[in-house]
């Protein structure tokens, strides 16, 4: 009874608190996952990665390029899901609306620059369905904007996060005599499919040769293939990976769509997973180093955060 009285006399402001649970597996970013875009930030400059993803500094707001890319991605998703392509006018109206909102925030957009983006919509929306049919005869949709959130081997409570723009399948064919089925060259193996992981890239005129060979750029498809095949339990040899470029500047023949297929070997996957784990381990240990070779276009250059 005396004990009860003493407890009742305690100041209610001096409440006992249990010790908080500390999860040592969480990253300094406050997340248990990493995306390809964040991974590339770390590779380019781990100190910038710290400022951006750990300290939460900087502004990755919309730009004329991201607005154009988002609208075109949405149009492609709509087409692959429904079979109906959006009109250039629909895309133009949405583009102008979002550009107006962007200008309202104080970001400068030149009229001539905006017109270049608007002019590209008509050709891209007209050419892409024919391009897909030509490159992938008999293709069928597997997924659009397919979500990845897969465990990373060798890591505790860490996942790789991503969205694959397009996954399709085509009838499997082998070299040999031609067939009239869907115009495919080679002999179709009935009931068997080949899968294609495709990532969209909106660009002015494409990538230079060294960019196409870049390990960092190819790593996106390497990781997408590994984690998608693991998720779907599909053998690696049944899946091809490609970048599909949507260009504002047409090529000599007038086409604005280009496909770059990137072969992905088991060796490339092992190397990419090793680099991914290295990045996660360094981030987990709060290790970051300023890469002066990556300063030129950095938003933090010569600021109080990175003088």
Q: Which tens digit of pLDDT belongs to each residue from 163-220?
A: 999 999 999 877 654 443 444 455 656 668 999 999 999 999 999 999 999 999 999 9
User: Is residue 31 assigned to a domain?
Assistant: no
Token pair 């990845």 in the structure block, residue: 148
Does residue 169 lie within any of the structural domains? yes
Q: Report the alpha-carbon distance of residue 29 to residue 54 in Å, rounded.
A: 4
Kindly report the backbone phi and psi dihedral angles of residue 151, in degrees, each rounded to the nearest multiple of 5, phi listed first. Answer: -60, 145
Residue 32 belongs to a domain: no
- Model pLDDT, residue 179: 41
Question: What are the CA-CA distances from residue 26 to residues 29, 39, 43, 89, 169 (Å)?
Answer: 8, 16, 20, 46, 37
88 lies in a domain? no
Angle (CA) 284 27 25, round 5°: 85
Domain range holding 178?
136-275
Pair type for strands 159-174 and 187-203: antiparallel
Say if residue 1's pLDDT is above 70.
Answer: no
286 within some domain: no
Dump pLDDT digits (tens) for 245-290. 999 999 999 999 999 999 999 999 999 999 999 999 999 999 999 9
How far is 138 from 133, CA to CA, in rounded Å? 7
Domain-located, residue 261:
yes
Q: Which distant-in-sequence residues (6+ apart) come within 8 Å of 74 by Cβ?
A: 86
Checking if the pLDDT of 139 tops 60, the result is yes
Picking from 305, 268, 265, 270, the residue whose alpha carbon sits closest to that of residue 288 is 305
Nearest Cα neighbor of 192 from 175, 176, 169, 226 is: 169
| Cα-based distances in Å from 114 to 81, 95, 211, 247, 248 | 28, 9, 26, 15, 11
* Res 299: pLDDT: 87
Token readout for 136 is 């992938």
- Cα angle at 197 between 195 and 201, to 5 degrees? 150
Residue 148 included in any domain: yes
Cα separation, 63 vs 28, whole angstroms: 28
**128: helix, strand or coil:** helix
pTM (two decimals):
0.86
Whether residue 6 is contained in a domain is answered as no
Token pair for 139:
């293709």
Give the number of other Cβ atoms within 10 Å of residue 230's Cβ.
Answer: 15
Number of domains in the chain: 1
């Amino acid at each position: 009874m005396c004990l009860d009285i003493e407890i009742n006399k305690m100041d209610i402001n001096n409440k006992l608190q249990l010790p908080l649970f500390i999860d040592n597996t969480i990253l300094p970013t406050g997340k248990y996952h990493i995306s390809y875009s964040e991974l590339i930030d770390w590779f380019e400059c781990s100190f910038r990665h710290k400022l951006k993803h750990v300290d939460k500094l900087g502004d990755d707001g919309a730009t004329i390029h991201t607005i154009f890319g988002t609208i075109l991605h949405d149009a492609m998703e709509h087409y692959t899901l429904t079979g109906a392509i959006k009109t250039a006018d629909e895309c133009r109206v949405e583009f102008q609306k979002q550009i107006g909102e962007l200008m309202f925030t104080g970001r400068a957009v030149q009229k001539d620059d905006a017109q270049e983006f608007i002019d590209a919509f008509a050709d891209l929306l007209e050419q892409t369905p024919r391009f897909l049919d030509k490159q992938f005869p008999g293709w069928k949709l597997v997924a659009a904007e397919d979500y990845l959130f897969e465990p990373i081997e060798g890591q505790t409570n860490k996942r790789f996060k991503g969205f694959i723009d397009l996954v399709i399948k085509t009838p499997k064919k082998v070299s040999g005599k031609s067939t009239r089925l869907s115009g495919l060259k080679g002999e179709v193996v009935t009931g068997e499919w080949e899968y294609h992981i495709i990532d969209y890239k909106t660009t002015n005129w494409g990538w230079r040769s060294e960019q196409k060979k870049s390990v960092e750029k190819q790593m996106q498809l390497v990781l997408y293939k590994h984690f998608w095949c693991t998720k779907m339990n599909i053998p690696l040899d049944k899946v091809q990976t490609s970048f599909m470029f949507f260009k504002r500047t047409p090529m000599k023949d007038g086409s604005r769509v280009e496909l770059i297929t990137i072969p992905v070997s088991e060796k490339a996957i092992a190397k990419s997973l090793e680099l991914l784990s290295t990045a996660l381990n360094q981030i987990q240990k709060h290790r970051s180093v300023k890469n002066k070779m990556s300063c030129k276009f950095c938003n933090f250059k010569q600021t109080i955060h990175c003088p």
